[in-house]
Amino acid sequence: MVELIRGIKAGVVAGLIWGVVHALLGSVFFVFIASLLGIPTTPPPFGGRYVALRVNPFMGLIIGPIFGVILGIIYAFTYNRLPGKQLSSMAKGMVLALIVWVILFLMTVPTGVSTGLFFSELEEYRTLQIIMTAFALWFFVIFLGQQLGRFWDRFKPK
């Protein structure tokens, strides 16, 4: 029970950090990459296609702790079963985040739900979709997984 509470606490804090950083950097990164690729992110004056964020990026502040709690509970139950006896808690958090992200990705591909930062997936802008999906993977694994492991150690009972 103590490990479950520890996982939930670590997950909430890690998820909140991930949500804040995801909200701030995600929207900036989206516009930056789209402009590098020459993809319009605002409606053209006389109509036409453009790519826009579907959801307010600050939803990460709500979604982050939810993901964190779910991942923290899974982490608490699987900590001793995760591969690598010599791995640190942060590395184990990253392994778990990678496994969860792959599962989420495989679920979103057939359903057509966006895999990046909730952007419109237009057929002619697949490069942006691939870049944003890779960015989402890196962000999920590095920030959420690593922070989960870091706070797992920090909330260790004394």
Query: pLDDT tens digits, residue range 47-81?
Result: 777 777 666 667 778 888 888 899 899 988 988 88
The answer to whether the CB of 137 falls within 8 A of the CB of 101 is yes
pLDDT tier, 108 (very low <50, low <70, confident <90, very high otherwise)? low
Burial 21-51 (b: 16+ CB within 10 A, else e): bbbebbbebbeebbeeeebebeeeeeeeeeb
Average pLDDT (31-46) is 80
Residue 28 has pLDDT above 70, yes or no: yes
Is residue 116 predicted with pLDDT exceeding 80? no
In this predicted model, which residue has the larger pLDDT, 115 or 9? 9
- For the chain, percent of residues with pLDDT exceeding 90: 5
In tens, the pLDDT along 93-107 reads 888 888 888 887 777
Host H or E run for residue 19: helix 2-36
Instruction: Identify the pLDDT of residue 111.
Output: 64
The answer on pLDDT for 118 being more than 50 is no
pTM, whole model, 2 decimals?
0.77
Residue bearing the bigger pLDDT, 4 or 84:
4
Return mean pLDDT, the chain. 79
Q: What Rg value do the Cα atoms of the chain yield, rounded?
A: 17
Report whether 153 contacts 89 (CB < 8 A): yes
Please, are residues 31 and 39 in contact by the beta-carbon 8 Å criterion?
A: no
**Tokens 């989960």 — which residue?**
148
Q: In Å, what is the CA distance from 19 to each residue of 38, 65, 137, 149?
A: 28, 7, 14, 16
Maximum CA extent, the chain: 64
- Identify any residues that bridge with 119 across adjacent strands, giving them in sequence order: 53
